[in-house]
Structure formats: C-alpha cells, structure tokens
Chain A
C-alpha cells in the first residue's frame, strides 16, 4: 500500500515570509496524482494544489507552488508571502492514476502557524 509521510508536525512562519512544507511518499506505481489540502480550524478540507506525476513541470497556484521530485518521491509545498489566513493544518495526499475509484492516502499533516 502507498504511504505518505509528513515529517514536520508543526511549522511557523512570519507574515509575508516564505515557508516550505515537506512530504514524501512511497509507491511502486509510475502514474499517480499528488495533492496538498488545507484544513483550517473550521475543519473543511480545501484543495490547495494538485500535481500529475507524468508532468515534469511543477504546479503553481498563485502564492502556492510545489517542488515535485519524482525520483526522490518528494512533494514539498512552498507558500510565498504568507498571510494570516494561511494558518491551518496542511495534508499531503496521494492518489493512484491506475483504474478507477481510487482512494486518497493522506499524511499525518503539518500544522502551520503564521506569526503577525
């Protein structure tokens, strides 16, 4: 089974600064999708960014970007110009591209604090 590891239980960043959250995963598959989800204290999970494994180009969404290293099975999230609203729990997730009806595998999360 696939596993997703987030080795940073907690991170903090000064407002307007940049922070990077780490994620590694273990899989024998070559085709898959990776995601970062944000879960604010209100608890609704919100998609931040998605990366297809077959794409070499790193995904970006406004202030959010990823560093996808397929050989190293690493998928980090960079948040630029951090804002108070970025404070939340961030989850890295993996989904196989093989077949249909595939489940998501989530890491244990990184709690991000933004310091004013």
Chain B
C-alpha cells in the first residue's frame, strides 16, 4: 500500500509570487483534503477535492485554489503570496463514501514567504 506523498518538502518564495504544491493520495483513496498548519497551531482546513471538483472549503480566500486529477492526485495553488501564508501545508487522502474512514496525512510541504 502506497502512502500519501507530497512535493516539494521545502519551498521559499517572495511576497506576491505564486506557488504550486503537489500531493499523491494513498492507493485506493479518491478524496484529497488540504490543510494549512501555522507554526504552533493545529491544521486548518483549506478545501477538499472529490471527482476532480471542490467539495467543501474552509475560510480561505479565492487565491487558494486546487486541482484534482483522474489518478486522484492533487495540486494546491496559492497566488499573490503573503507573509502569513508561511506554514506547513498538509495533504490528506481518504475514501469519500465511507464517513468512518479517517484521513491519512502526507509529510507536508514547508512554505516560507519572504
């Protein structure tokens, strides 16, 4: 069974730039959720993707967007980066139609915005 993977592991950007983070879901999982974890905080839900469409969104502005591909992998895109976007970005995969199924997390991408 293949676990959740994310790339890159670390990234440094400057304010105003755009960034794309990638996630490969665990084998057999069809749903991907993205979370932002600021230093010293718990993860905050950004959005979830199922069947290549956004299925639920947290309190994040539209400059946070995503994609899901037919193989269930996903991208998180952030435009017009701000200093407060510096955080660990976590991807989690799960099975959509089984609410008892938990989410399995990837190792995260550490983004630093200067």
Contact = CB atoms under 8 A, between A and B. Distances in A.
Nearest to A111: B40
B103 A104 contact: yes
B104 A47 contact: yes
Contacts of B104: 47
Interface residues of A, number: 26
Interface stretch (A37-45, A60-68, A71-79): A37-45
B51 to A, nearest CB: 10
B8 to A, nearest CB: 14
B105 A44 contact: yes
A96 to B, nearest CB: 8
Contacts of A50: 102
Contacts, number: 63
Contact of B43 (A42, A46, A100, A104): A104
B89 to A, nearest CB: 11
A100 B99 contact: yes
B31 A44 contact: no
A102 B43 contact: no
B100 A33 contact: yes
Contacts of B43: 45, 91, 104, 106
A80 interface: no
A93 B44 CA distance: 11
A52 B101 CA distance: 11
Given A101-B55, A103-B58, A109 B42 contact: yes
Interface of A: 4, 33, 35, 37, 42-47, 50, 52, 91, 93, 95, 97, 100-109
22 contacts: A33-B99, A42-B107, A43-B88, A43-B108, A44-B108, A45-B43, A45-B92, A47-B102, A52-B100, A91-B42, A91-B43, A93-B42, A100-B96, A100-B97, A101-B31, A101-B55, A103-B58, A104-B33, A104-B35, A105-B45, A106-B42, A107-B42
